[in-house]
Amino acid sequence: MIRPTPTPMPTPTASAQPLVSLRGAGVSFGERTVLQPLDIDVRAGERLALLGSNGSGKTTLLRLLHGQLSHHGSRLVGCDAQGCEPRQAMVFQRPFLLRLSVWSNLHIALWLAGVPHAQRAQRARKALQRVNLEEHIHRPARVLSGGQQQRLALARAWAVRPQLLFLDEPTASLDPAAKRDVEALIEEFAHEGMTVVMSTHNLGQAKRLATRVLYLESGHLVVDRPVDAFFSQPLPEAAAQFLNGERA
């Protein structure tokens, strides 16, 4: 069983320069607008949960924040001593794994991330230890169980040491034990100072892992609140229905 590190969570600094900001940013595919213009700041140390019904725009917003989509409006990134594009990684609901060994999937990811050759083996080993997959190092990645594949995807992301980690439904279709393991890893990453933005349908997961909740409906950002306020204060009708299980 993977257990979270029992140290205090880092507190996001409201005055810090955002890692990523959207200003009037939206996404259209042809004539269809799938994400209406919105303004968002993502600051270091935050853990954002994106909630909403199927088709509400959660994955589109994740990919926009990650810089993967053409858009209108502005996507701005904060600069620090390491440059003007924060190191980022994204783990999809169904991780893309190469038809190679567990080890090769990690090693190639580090190579693509520009990690020096001398550091790759050590980083890969540490990543596999971190997710309890050392004994599977030589197995083909695609024969692993669903939970093991998701842990490998998280190890691959962690190994490149991102400042920003994007997760798209990271525990969808996993059994309860695998969900607990993945949640524990996400919590550990956050303890280390990694900023996490994740989409989820799991309200309990949002309560456990998030510091802030964004609720989307039909491509509109409807609610943006700290997690405690989202679950304790009155909400707009659509968000309240989602919270009550009336919207899937």
Residue bearing tokens 């990453």: 189
What proportion of the chain, given as a percentage, has pLDDT over 90?
82
Domain ranges of the chain: 18-87+164-248, 92-161
Average of per-residue pLDDT values in the chain: 90
**For residues 44 and 12, is the Cβ–Cβ distance under 8 A?**
yes
- For 78-129, what is each residue's pLDDT tens digit? 765 555 678 999 998 888 999 999 999 999 999 999 999 999 999 999 999 9
pLDDT of residue 10: 46
pLDDT of residue 161: 92
pLDDT above 50 for 2: no
pLDDT above 50 for 199: yes
Closest CA to 62 of 219, 218, 198: 198
Residue bearing tokens 């949002």: 206
Higher pLDDT, 14 or 58: 58
- For 74-85, what is each residue's pLDDT tens digit? 999 976 555 567
pLDDT of residue 115: 95
CATH code: domain 18-87+164-248 is 3.40.50.300
Residue bearing tokens 């853990």: 47
**For residues 26 and 37, is the Cβ–Cβ distance under 8 A?**
yes
- For 150-197, what is each residue's pLDDT tens digit? 999 999 999 999 999 999 999 988 889 999 999 999 999 999 999 999
When pLDDT is cut at 50, 70 and 90, the band that residue 5 belongs to is: very low
Lowest mean pLDDT among 52-56, 136-140, 173-177: 173-177
120: which 2 tokens?
A: 């790759």
21: which 2 tokens?
A: 């900001």
pLDDT of residue 163: 94
pTM of the full structure: 0.89
**Which residues lie closer than 8 Å to 162 by C-beta, 6 or more apart?**
86, 87, 88, 89, 194
What proportion of the chain, given as a percentage, has pLDDT over 70?
90
Closest CA to 21 of 1, 44, 47: 44
Query: Mean pLDDT, to the nearest integer, of 127-150?
Result: 95
pLDDT above 90 for 223: yes
- Provide the 3-class DSSP secondary structure of residue 224: strand
